[in-house]
Structure 1
Amino acid sequence: MILKRNLLVMALASAGLCMAFGVQAATGDTGAQQTTDSSQQAATTSNNTANNGSTSQATTNPKSQAQLAKSLSTVTVTGFSASVEKSVDYQRYADTIQSVVTAADIGGLPDQSIADSLTHLPGVSAERIAGQASQINIRGLSGDFILTTLDGREQPSTSGTNYIQFDQYPSELINMATVYKTSQASLITGGVAGTIALQTANPLDNTKDQSLNIDTRGSYNDAANGVPNASATGYRLSVAYQGKFLDNTLGVGLGFADMYQPHVSEQFVGEASDGGLYQLNKASPQQSYMPEGVQLQQNGGEERRRGYLGTVVWKPTDELQLTADTFFSKFDNSSYGFGYRSQNYYGNNTQVTNPVFTYAQPGQPGTLIGGTVTGASASSQFSNETTADNYTTNTNVFSGGLNMKWNHGNWHVESDLSMSRAASHEINVDTTADPYNGLGTATPTLMSQTANFLLKGRSIGDLSFANPGIYTNLNDMALSRYGVYPYIYHDRDKAFRTAVQYDLPNNPVFTAIEAGVYANNHAYNADREVYVYGSEWGGYASNSPGQPPLTIPSSAAQVTCWKGNFSGFPCFLTLNGPAILAAHGIVANPVKNITDQSWSEIQSGSVNERTRDFFLMGDIDAQVGGRELTGNVGVRVSHQSQYSNGLQQVGNGEGVPITDGNGNTSTDYAPLKVGKTYTDYLPSLNLIYHWDDNDQTRFSAAKVLSRPPINTMLAGAGSWVSNGQYNVWGGTSPLLNPLRATQYDLDYEHYFDDSTGEVTVGVYYKDIASFIQNVTYNNFDFAAAGIKVPTNPATGQPYANGVYQTAYNAQGGHVDGVEAQFTKTHFLPGIWSGLGFDANVAFSASNVHNPTTLAGPTTQIGLPGLSKRVASAALFYDNGTFSARLSANYRSSFLSDTQIAVDNQLVTFASETVYDFQAAYNITKQFSVVAQMLNLSNQPTRTYFGGNPTQTGTIQYFGRTSYLGVNFKL
């Protein structure tokens, strides 16, 4: 069992404390910038805040741009207080409802990652996978509903689906991150939950002509001593340079970020039920829902990420700016897991005595959560397997392009040409060993075994064996199975966008009108490969003849015992799978396999999406009831085509010759291309009513959409024939509709004088038309859907229509909630003026329900990604010499399918609160020291099935991570 961010990911170390790349553009050492002399100059300054102008994209109103630029130019404080006040200003003057994290949030007093920084914003939470904030949720919706951009360019994903893994982006290289919670016509389509816009810095905005920042620090994980061969130490290094040349008309920015860190964790896993009832033992007719088994595992390994950023900005005149920039990040993650997997409890493989049950409803059969488990017969496929897993993932992301801005009088033009690509090569190696009788003979047999287990909800449970000594005895143990499963993804975007804005300075209603086009070609490829030796649970004779269990040489195994929270569990062998194979003259060679592993061909394929959008929008500035009303109104027309190429298993030799990586050829498969086109009209309205200079009310309404998760649109499908019917399985469909929604927002906002804080409260409502789920259709009309039905040789006619297992647009529902935020800096006099406080809370609800049988009986559970309560708070202090912050993030329980055993499992993540502390001291203007401790309380990740906390899913402990480092800047 593994948890996903490329299956196992350790927490990222933090970014440079005082100034990473672009931070000087946010908080310079020379004090406040001078206020601009005219609104036009201020608007131009605002437009140039980011490389690509995405700031102006969110604040298109010329008057709002001028107000924002003037407010930002009056910031006189530095450090974290400055970043908070800047974030307040961005939110205050934006056309949309948005929340902002500026560079000092990320690079000044850094969190573990950009994802962690985003979770300090109201309504934003993260799924903490492998101890690290990974996938972001916004307003109760998962990452598949979120569009992410870098410098205004759609970002490809390394996850194999739509959501972005934010640890791919070094926080040292990011200047600002904005969460758009409402939409406007000029924003790229794709975020039903919201849009996350990452921005890099413009070197021409740097307050110095030349600046250099070097940050380095070491890390220590206090849980490493519990995992064999795990390192406790790591490091993080970043170097950033910005320079202005040719009388401030040419700007150059270079950034490099290097991170090495170990991964360590220990986990106790309770596996899911298959939803079936099984007899407990031969002596009793009592039936029960049973889990598949229990796992114990130690995880270790290392992560290495290197990020590069280059920016060249040329501004030959006040009217023209040209930018060329590139971003590249390479992330290599190698990790391993050793331990036990006591498995195959259900399926009448075992006899259970001394059972312990939990009940979903009174009067119904219970679900087994404890007892003594033994094999049902001599040939039973039940075993306490020794496991050795290897999860190696190599990913990379490139994003780059050319951007042009031209401002002449009332005309403003921006064009952007870009290419982004991502690649992920993930190899999951699954090694299992079992105890055998008759090793060395022609017919070794699996030993009869017993396990005693008890699940204890959100605490570590019990697992013991009747004869623990056999599992560390090389005379009894043999390798049963060795499987290698590569997952290879390529995700590419080629895009062009242009927008033209014309200011209307004398119009009583509209200050500007803007129109633009957007074109994006998105190509996605998934490749599956496989190599399998042997068979688990003694099934080699029937499942893999000629591949018997392999004896284990002493050089390929080491006895390991548990420590810390897991001490007392049985000792086990840490196995070197490749060495065991090599000792028997075997080399693993994973390839596509069309014969006995045909899913590797069926689940490979491509999806191509073409987006062609046009938008028209007007910026509003009018007088209503003697007060100012600003905002915008517009419409975006989005045309989409989606097609997938794959293989369909037709059978009976009616396909085309397909030769796999082993040289085997089959004619039972036919190429398949399926897809559709659609056009959506997406109106939007954003209104801001200004009661006075410090108080305003916002109302937003829009139609929005998110494209289906890209992996759910693969065309490949397998098949089987029964009772004269042709049946198809696959679980994906290129005919899926997008996830469409209508949303409404209403906010009240109060801002304190001098941008020193805010009080906001708002409500939102999203009516989502559909969600993607799996479905099984009976008597499905395959011909009408363009799916070939082979000929029945007995009749000479096509087989009758049978079962179709696919993905479809299930009925949707609504998501609604309330958000509140309070931020205040400089609320005390004297030396305490550097004290600040920030807190927010969000309450969400939904009427969406999903059925699950993983807990036993069919249970209705909620919407993945939705926590009913999300809150964060931070107390910080900054006097220019000393800085410190204590922060806490809380989210209540939520559902997610990021837990996987063999396939993804929809589980409930228990509520959690994570505390972090950071502090820094400036020795001189050039040198500072930083100390941090993350996850102060060693908060584990806990999951359970079906909303029943007694049915343990996973309990993982990752330890506390401490950092100590220095920063140098010029």
Structure 2
Amino acid sequence: MSFPKHLFKNNLLSVGVALATLYPAGIVLAQDAVQENSPNNVEEVVVLGIRNSVMQSIDTKRNASSVVDAITATDIGKLPDATIADSLQRVPGIQITRTGGEGTGVNIRGNSNVTTTLNGEQMLAAGSITTVSPNFADIPSTMVSGIEVFKSAEAKNVVSGLAGTINLKTNRPFLLEDGFTAVGKVEAIQGALGEETDGSYSGFFGYNNDDKFGASLNLSYGTSYLADYWNGSQGGNAGRWSGWRNLASEETGYVANNVDVNGDGDSNDVYYTFEGHQAANRFIDRERTGINGSMQYQINDAFQLTGDVFYTKLDEHIYMQAFVAEQSWQSIIGWANPDEGATEAYDNIIHRNGEAITLPGNLYTMSSALWQTRLAKTQNQTTATDKESTNTNLELSFDNGGPLTGKLRWLHGEAVDDSANSTVDSTLTDGSQINDKYRPANGDESWANPWGYGSFNALLPNGTEVDGTAIQVPIHIAYSGGKQHWTLPSSNLPITNADGTTSTVNETFGSNLDRYSAKSSNLTGTYSNADMDVLRLDTSYAFDSPLLNTFTSIDVGARYSERNVEKNGWIGGVLRTNEYGDAFVARWKDTVSPAPVTGESYIDPISFTELNELGMIKGISDFYGTTGLGTVYFIDPKAMDNPIAWHEKMYGPHMLVADAANVYDLQDQTTSFYLQGNLETEVFGKALRGNLGLRYIDTEYTITQSVAGSAASTVINGESYLLGPGMVASVGESITTINSYDELLPAVNLSMDLTDEQVLRFAFTKTIGTHDTDSLGGGLNVNRTNSCNITRPNGGPVACANSGSQIGNPALLPNLQYNAELSYEWYLNDSSMVSLGMFWVQGLTQIENTRIYRSDIADDDGQVRGYNPETGQFTGVVPIDSIISSDEKGDATHGVEFGYKQSLDFLPGFWSGFGVDANFTYSPSEGSDQDYYGETMPGINNSEYQSNFALWYEQDGIQARIAHNYRSKMYLGRTLQGDYQFAYFQKPTNYVDASISYEFIENMTVALQVTNLTQEHQEYYNQWESNVDASFYNERRTSLSLQVKY
């Protein structure tokens, strides 16, 4: 099966509305705090300045019917926020994750099951087509006029997340002053570690004709080139999962058996070692385009028509160039000789059948060692991503001044997220270390890289050479002071001469371009797209006198939505013929990979000398956070901007073959109804207001998963091809599952005015949340390794299946939980307040990771062996990790939020311009994972403590702010290695941002802004802080902007 890239479909209505409307909000700096609750209760508000933005946020919170925090456009614009997530980090209870230093992901109180809405209704975001967690990388902060964070749901909020809802608000023309309004902004941004100067441009044009007709257009365009240096273990995705690692026993893991590594008189200890180390020069290149707008028409005194469009586009390239020293999955996993004083000892604990068992000896981690490298390489990786989304809204509202009001809405959304990834491994070692040989159909065999460095004898931990074991190159690597340190060999390096003789050279390892060979490459990608339609009716009836002396109005509504998600994962296969003339398709373009049936190599060695003549090679010495490498050489990753085209240029014709584990279709049909009573009464002489309600949700998922066939060949475009190395079988069949459920969800939100300035709130809701579509529709992924020492008849290696994961389970139950909150708010004045809230969460659904053992998973030669790399044994079964759900209660969690906003305008003179905005969140949680010691771990992506502190100043046309964000260690999941399990964490972080602006001429403002002032970096570790897994290093970014208003 092959398929073309999906083309983005422009809906006719989207185009029509876009041409008629379109509008920018963030720079107009206006917000209607009650826009969604009462569509005709519109007040013209122009928010200018930090102080007024604080007042708007306080006003929104004070008048809300539920637990809400808000940010106005001035908040967003006054700090140098590149994305919505950067702005949200200042809200109590919000925690964000970063890529390239920019905020992208968001959770509320440690739970990432958060729904994003646009003007109160569901939106399709290109960054989260297949996930429930918001990803705002593609949305510039100038696209919105305000953000609301709902931590408790009202019954009429039929679209809400398990943990809460983030509502993005856009400005509409009837919010503008009469007449024409225009704003333009230009910005230049420079990173401290990058060489490129980025630009950002935005413009707003709006017209309001006395609230009878209005239209507006917002345009936003910007580029960013973000430093994202990365070092540590090889093979992981730091921030999501750990790098590859091994656990080497003194008994069997070293070049000789029963090696006493630490000299304690026994051989019962185990050593935690990386499979490989890397130091990466990594940059993220983003180009964002945004258009949003609105058109409003007052048809008569009763009816108003509104049309909105919200369009975003993100073109992103991630360029990574990494120097790697690795063990290459060989059976001798004890490849490190630790330095004296560089190890830490722990009890040797394994987990079997849910029980922690302490074994004899100790488990050791190490921070500094001589690593006996089996494969040294430079790795190029280019990931090209194209994300595009359009969301449209057509809305007819009714309000004739009578008791009945209503609104009818139709929304349509489309989104695309396409990506292609190219990886090229270029080796410096010649292949003798791992017996990697190039075996042409005609001609003599050679090492995989005939120009590379040869081998040294292996060393015992005490430094003694083992004769006859020329399998390694000694490279020293250490981790200290938040950095990675390399020492490369530079004398008596063995090489093979052109005439076949051997000799030695004195040169720093990796410094000679002529020693490199582009040995192996891989091309993969995913095409994802989704569309959505929503029809919704909301009505409200206000009673002439309170019903039962309590209820002032009643809200009733109905909603139907349909969402379709299609994901097509693919593998780029090169088309070749074997020695017999049989056509085959292969994933791995590797000089040692054998053609099917005949076994000869089908990729010739490619020297860097040759590629340098073509202008493809680049020398790099810039590895921030790393020392000791000097200049090493890479294929220029920008040459692979179009990964598919580059692979076809280098290797010939390719086909994009469907990867059954990542191919599925999902349809989500949901019908909702709600009934809500809004109340105003008195209790004990105190004013009580709020709402009581029920919402009913009926959801049906139709999930079609793909299953890989079992044949040794596949048919592509009517032609039959043998399956070459790494290529998956074509989709054999499809399985369709229907998963339906319905729930009745109560919601209670009450506010009591203790005094005119003090409010006590209580909220109780039952919430529901779905799963990532991958968790419902994904298939089976199998990991294979060459370390099993099984060879083909021609001597080539067999890749043995050793583990895997069953990504999707279409029968998963929905996530359900109870949420309760009690909060106290003291409004000191219009621009100052104190709040203290306590929250409680009770999970009603348990989602568990489980492991099954399958006896039907074959190695890449078709034989079932079940290789266990820890023991070196063949068990006949392969462990597969999967997920299951049950309707059992989890442990209840609770937490506290504290907020303080204080304008110091009561102080004299200069000091009256200052203000403080601070908050603190304590959000403990309990998940289902256990760590190394069997202790229960918190929820994924949760930090127990978070604080924000901002000091601001506004006076005489000057506005300034410095803001600090602290986040305690964040739990990211378990790292499993055989019977061992380690908790994977990110260390605590501190981010400081600052800005200053001056209106030097009326309506003309210049601003200087700095993000990540201290160049904080992100460090990840497994179980113990000293056991560093990886680090990311991001840059300080400085921007200078000019804004002009009319």
TM-score by length of 1: 0.83
Equivalent residue, structure 2, for 1:937 = 1014
Whether 1:374 and 2:342 are equivalent positions in the alignment is no
Structure 2 Cα separation of the partners of residues 176 and 899 of structure 1: 39
Equivalent residue, structure 1, for 2:225 = 262
The partner residue of 2:756 within 670, 679, 693 is 693
The partner residue of 1:762 within 828, 837, 843 is 837
Structure 1 Cα separation of the partners of residues 666 and 809 of structure 2: 11
Q: Secondary structure at the match of 2:362?
A: coil
Structure 2 Cα separation of the partners of residues 538 and 505 of structure 1: 83
Contact 2:30/2:175 (8 A) holds in 1: no
Whether 1:418 and 2:493 are equivalent positions in the alignment is no
Structure 2 Cα separation of the partners of residues 823 and 77 of structure 1: 18
Structure 2 Cα separation of the partners of residues 187 and 584 of structure 1: 51
Deviation at 1:557, TM superposition (A): 1.7
Deviation at 1:240, TM superposition (A): 0.3
Question: What is the one-letter code of the residue matched to 1:926?
Answer: N
Structure 1 Cα separation of the partners of residues 647 and 691 of structure 2: 71
Contact 2:927/2:940 (8 A) holds in 1: no
Deviation at 1:776, TM superposition (A): 2.6
Per-residue CA deviations over 1:816-853 (Å, capped at 9, x if unaligned) read 21000000122423343332111000011123242468
Counterparts of residues 136-535 of structure 1 (less than 5 Å): 136-142=106-112, 145-157=113-125, 158-159=127-128, 160-224=130-194, 231-245=195-209, 247-271=210-234, 272-274=243-245, 276-278=247-249, 279-282=253-256, 284-285=258-259, 286=267, 287-300=270-283, 302-344=285-327, 348-355=331-338, 356-361=342-347, 363-374=361-372, 382-408=374-400, 409-434=402-427, 435-436=429-430, 442-445=445-448, 447-448=454-455, 449-456=472-479, 459-467=482-490, 469-507=508-546, 508-531=549-572
Unmatched runs of 5 consecutive residues or more in structure 2: 1-22, 235-242, 260-266, 349-360, 432-436, 456-471, 491-506, 575-586, 723-728, 784-802, 857-863, 865-875, 977-981
Change (3 A) 1:212 1:605: same
Deviation at 1:150, TM superposition (A): 1.1
Structure 2 Cα separation of the partners of residues 963 and 906 of structure 1: 38
Deviation at 1:344, TM superposition (A): 3.0
Deviation at 1:414, TM superposition (A): 1.2
Structure 2 Cα separation of the partners of residues 828 and 546 of structure 1: 79
Q: Secondary structure at the match of 2:690?
A: strand
Equivalent residue, structure 2, for 1:378 = none
Deviation at 1:777, TM superposition (A): 3.9
Question: What is the one-letter code of the residue matched to 1:918?
Answer: S
Q: Secondary structure at the match of 2:87?
A: helix
Equivalent residue pairs, number: 867
Equivalent residue, structure 2, for 1:546 = 602
Structure 2 Cα separation of the partners of residues 715 and 80 of structure 1: 47
Contact 1:485/1:590 (8 A) holds in 2: no
Deviation at 1:26, TM superposition (A): 5.0
Equivalent residue, structure 2, for 1:912 = 989
Whether 1:885 and 2:968 are equivalent positions in the alignment is no
Equivalent residue, structure 1, for 2:791 = none
Structure 1 Cα separation of the partners of residues 931 and 423 of structure 2: 27
Deviation at 1:642, TM superposition (A): 1.2
Q: Percent identity?
A: 19
Question: What is the one-letter code of the residue matched to 1:872?
Answer: N
Q: Secondary structure at the match of 1:167?
A: coil
Equivalent residue, structure 2, for 1:125 = 95
> Which stretch has the larger CA shift, 314-323 or 863-872?
314-323
Question: What is the one-letter code of the residue matched to 1:761?
Answer: L
Change (3 A) 1:694 1:324: same
Whether 1:613 and 2:672 are equivalent positions in the alignment is yes
Equivalent residue, structure 1, for 2:49 = 79
Whether 1:830 and 2:909 are equivalent positions in the alignment is yes
Q: Secondary structure at the match of 1:602?
A: strand
Deviation at 1:486, TM superposition (A): 1.1
Contact 1:300/1:337 (8 A) holds in 2: yes
> Which stretch has the larger CA shift, 428-437 or 535-544?
535-544
Equivalent residue, structure 1, for 2:662 = 603
Q: Secondary structure at the match of 1:91?
A: helix
Whether 1:586 and 2:625 are equivalent positions in the alignment is no
Contact 1:112/1:934 (8 A) holds in 2: no
Structure 2 Cα separation of the partners of residues 582 and 239 of structure 1: 37
Equivalent residue, structure 2, for 1:705 = 768
Contact 2:970/2:986 (8 A) holds in 1: yes
Deviation at 1:342, TM superposition (A): 1.7
> Which stretch has the larger CA shift, 109-118 or 673-682?
109-118
Greater share of helix:
1
Deviation at 1:538, TM superposition (A): 7.3
Structure 1 Cα separation of the partners of residues 878 and 322 of structure 2: 43
Deviation at 1:544, TM superposition (A): 8.1
Contact 1:530/1:590 (8 A) holds in 2: no
Structure 2 Cα separation of the partners of residues 274 and 476 of structure 1: 28
Structure 2 Cα separation of the partners of residues 536 and 658 of structure 1: 20
Change (3 A) 1:403 1:663: farther
Change (3 A) 1:361 1:590: farther
Contact 1:883/1:919 (8 A) holds in 2: yes
RMSD over aligned Cα atoms: 3.6
> Which stretch has the larger CA shift, 584-593 or 837-846?
584-593
Q: Secondary structure at the match of 2:430?
A: strand
Counterparts of residues 31-42 of structure 1 (less than 5 Å): none
Contact 1:470/1:476 (8 A) holds in 2: no
Structure 1 Cα separation of the partners of residues 654 and 120 of structure 2: 39
Equivalent residue, structure 2, for 1:820 = 898
Contact 2:344/2:364 (8 A) holds in 1: yes
Contact 2:344/2:365 (8 A) holds in 1: yes
Structure 1 Cα separation of the partners of residues 648 and 711 of structure 2: 38
Structure 1 Cα separation of the partners of residues 756 and 915 of structure 2: 23
> Which stretch has the larger CA shift, 341-350 or 209-218?
341-350
Structure 1 Cα separation of the partners of residues 412 and 294 of structure 2: 15
Contact 1:258/1:306 (8 A) holds in 2: yes
Change (3 A) 1:585 1:46: closer
Deviation at 1:570, TM superposition (A): 4.2
Contact 1:522/1:610 (8 A) holds in 2: yes
Deviation at 1:450, TM superposition (A): 2.3
Structure 2 Cα separation of the partners of residues 113 and 582 of structure 1: 32
Unmatched runs of 5 consecutive residues or more in structure 1: 1-19, 29-44, 58-64, 225-230, 376-381, 595-599, 721-726, 782-791, 793-799
Per-residue CA deviations over 1:923-968 (Å, capped at 9, x if unaligned) read 222211111111110111211123x111222222222111112111
Whether 1:674 and 2:737 are equivalent positions in the alignment is yes
Contact 2:536/2:558 (8 A) holds in 1: yes
Contact 2:279/2:324 (8 A) holds in 1: yes
Structure 1 Cα separation of the partners of residues 70 and 325 of structure 2: 47
Whether 1:645 and 2:704 are equivalent positions in the alignment is yes
Deviation at 1:747, TM superposition (A): 0.2
Question: What is the one-letter code of the residue matched to 2:318?
Answer: S
Counterparts of residues 925-964 of structure 1 (less than 5 Å): 925-946=1002-1023, 948-964=1024-1040
Question: What is the one-letter code of the residue matched to 1:566?
Answer: T
Q: Secondary structure at the match of 1:506?
A: strand
Question: What is the one-letter code of the residue matched to 1:876?
Answer: W
The partner residue of 2:823 within 726, 742, 747 is 747
Equivalent residue, structure 1, for 2:3 = none
